[in-house]
Amino acid sequence: MLFSEELKQNATPILSAIEDHPFVQGIATGTLPKEALTFYVGQDFNYLNAFIKVYAAAVEKCRDRSDMAIFNEQINFILNSEIHPHHVFCNVAGVPYESLQHAVQAPMTYLYNEHMYNAARTGDLIDIVAAMLPCPWTYFEIANKLIAEGKNNDANVFKDWIDFYGSIADDTDANLSDRFFALIDREAANYNAARLAVIERRFMRSCELEWDFWEQAYRQQDWQFTPAKNLRQDQVIQH
Ligand SMILES: Cc1ncc(CN)c(N)n1
C-alpha cells in the first residue's frame, strides 16, 4: 500500500469526527453563532500566518525548483485567495475582517502552530509536508462531502465557503492535497519503517489538531488563567 494511502486510512476516524463536528454541521445548515465565527476567523488568521512561515521553511529544504514552486504558489494562495472564506464568515457575523486580524493565539492555535514549527525545525521536507497536509486535505474532504449532500445551496449563507474549499481549480487546496500526497510518497521511499512512523505521527497529530481547532472556535476556548482576549498582540511573544 502507498504510504499516503496508509495515512488516509488511519486518519479516517478523525476525518469522520471532523465532518460530524457541530461547527462543520453548522456550516452545513447555515447556522452558527456569531461568537464562534469571529473566534474562528481571528484564530485562523493567526494560524495561516504561521502556515506561510512554515511554507517558507519548506522552501529551504527543497532540492529543486519544481518543489519550490509548489510552496511559492501556496504562499500566494493564502495571501490572496484564502482571505475569501474569512470574508464569508465575517459577512455572516456582521464584523469587519480587519478587526479580527490581531487575535492572540488561543491554546489550540498555539499547539497547532508549534507542532508545525517543530516539524520545520527538527524534520526534513517530508516531515513538514506531513504536518501541513491535514489542513488542505480535511477542508477539501469536508467541502466535497457538503457539496455531495447539496449543502452548498443558494439558501445556505456559507455556500461560498463550501464552494471555495470544494473547488478543484488549479490553485486550490484540492489540487494541493493530491500534490502533497504524491510528494510524500516520493520522499517516503528514502526512509525506514521507524522514521516513517514518526512522519505518520506528525500527520495524525495535525489531523487531531484540525478537530481541536473546530472545537476551540465552537466553544471559544481560551487560556484559563491568562486569557488571550485580555491581551493585546504587542504584549505577547510573536513567532
Ligand atoms: C486550521 C485550518 N485548517 C485548514 C485550513 C484550510 N486551509 C484552514 N484555513 N485553517
C-alpha 79 chain-centroid distance: 14
Q: Whose CA is nearest to atom 5 of ligand 1?
A: 135
- pLDDT tier at 229 (50, 70, 90 boundaries)? confident
Comparing CA positions, the residue from 93, 80, 3 lying closest to residue 41 is: 93
Q: What is the DSSP code (8-state) at residue 64? A: S
Cα 133 to ligand 1 centroid, rounded to whole Å = 10
What's the pLDDT score for residue 13? 98
Nearest atom of ligand 1 to the alpha carbon of 138? 4
CA distance 136 to 27: 17
In this structure, what C-alpha cell is assigned to residue 189? 521511499
C-alpha 11 chain-centroid distance: 15
CA distance 86 to 90: 6
- Encode pLDDT of 50-86 as tens digits: 999 999 999 999 999 999 999 999 999 999 999 999 9
Give the residue extent of every domain in the chain.
Answer: 3-229
The CATH code for residues 3-229 is 1.20.910.10
What's the pLDDT score for residue 238? 58
Cα 173 to ligand 1 centroid, rounded to whole Å = 10
Does the C-beta of 211 come closer than 6 Å to ligand 1?
A: no
pTM score, two decimals? 0.95
Cα 42 to ligand 1 centroid, rounded to whole Å = 12
Is residue 176's pLDDT more than 90? no
Q: Whose CA is nearest to atom 10 of ligand 1?
A: 44
109 close to 43: Cβ distance less than 8 angstroms: yes
- Encode pLDDT of 193-220 as tens digits: 999 999 999 999 999 999 999 999 999 9
Helix%, strand%, coil% for the chain, nearest 5: 75, 0, 25
Please choose from 51, 54, 75, 111 the residue to mutate so as to test ligand 1's pocket, defined by most ligand atoms within 8 A of CB: 51
Q: Which residues contact 104 (CB under 8 A, 6 or more apart)?
A: 46, 228, 229, 231, 232, 233, 235, 236
Model ipTM? Answer: 0.99
- Encode pLDDT of 6-52 as tens digits: 999 999 999 999 999 999 999 999 999 999 999 999 999 999 999 99
Q: What is the DSSP code (8-state) at residue 149? A: T
Sign of the Cα torsion 142, 178, 195, 52 reads: negative
- pLDDT tier at 173 (50, 70, 90 boundaries)? low
- Encode pLDDT of 111-158 as tens digits: 999 999 999 999 999 999 999 999 999 999 999 999 999 999 999 999
In this structure, what C-alpha cell is assigned to residue 108? 489550540
Is residue 169's pLDDT more than 50? no
203 close to 7: Cβ distance less than 8 angstroms: yes
